[in-house]
Amino acid sequence: MKKIIFMGTPTFAVPILESLIESGYDIVKVVTQPDRPKGRKRILTPSPVKEVAIKHHIPVFQPEKLRESYEELLESDIDLIVTAAYGQLLPNELLEHPKFGSINVHASLLPELRGGAPIHHAIIQGKKETGITIMYMADKLDSGDIISQREVPIEMSDDVGILHDKLSELGSTLLIETLPTIFNRTNKRIPQDETKATFAYNVTREDEKIAWSQSHIEVYNQIRGLHPWPGAYTKHNGHVLKVWSAQLGVKKYEDCAPGTIVAIEDEQFIVVVCGNEQTVKMSSIQVAGKKRMSVKDYLLGNPNAWQVGETLE
Q: Identify the pLDDT of residue 40.
A: 79
Nearest Cα neighbor of 79 from 113, 53, 103, 114 is 103
Q: What are the pLDDT digits (tens) for 252-287?
A: 999 999 999 999 999 999 999 999 999 999 999 999
CATH 3.40.50.1820 for domain 210-301, yes or no, is no
Sequence ranges of the chain with CATH classification 3.40.50.170: 3-196
The overall average pLDDT reported for the chain is 96
Task: Identify the H or E element spanning 69.
Answer: none
The phi and psi torsions of 48 (rounded to 5 degrees) equal -55, -35
DSSP letter string, 83-135: EES--SPPPHHHHT-STT-EEEEESS-TTSSBSS-HHHHHHHTT-SEEEEEEE
Nearest Cα neighbor of 122 from 214, 114, 3, 284 is 114
| pLDDT higher than 90, residue 102 | yes
Torsion, Cα of 41, 46, 48, 52 (10° steps): -140
Sequence ranges of the chain with CATH classification 3.10.25.10: 210-301
Q: Identify the pLDDT of residue 177.
A: 98
Q: Identify the pLDDT of residue 175.
A: 98
Q: What are the pLDDT digits (tens) for 300-309?
A: 998 889 999 9
Nearest Cα neighbor of 222 from 211, 237, 235 is 211
3-196, CATH topology level: Rossmann fold (3.40.50)
Q: Identify the pLDDT of residue 39.
A: 80
Rounded to whole angstroms, the Cα distance separating 283 from 242 reads 11
pTM of the predicted structure, to 2 decimals: 0.96
Rounded to whole angstroms, the Cα distance separating 305 from 44 reads 38
| pLDDT higher than 90, residue 80 | yes
| pLDDT higher than 90, residue 240 | yes
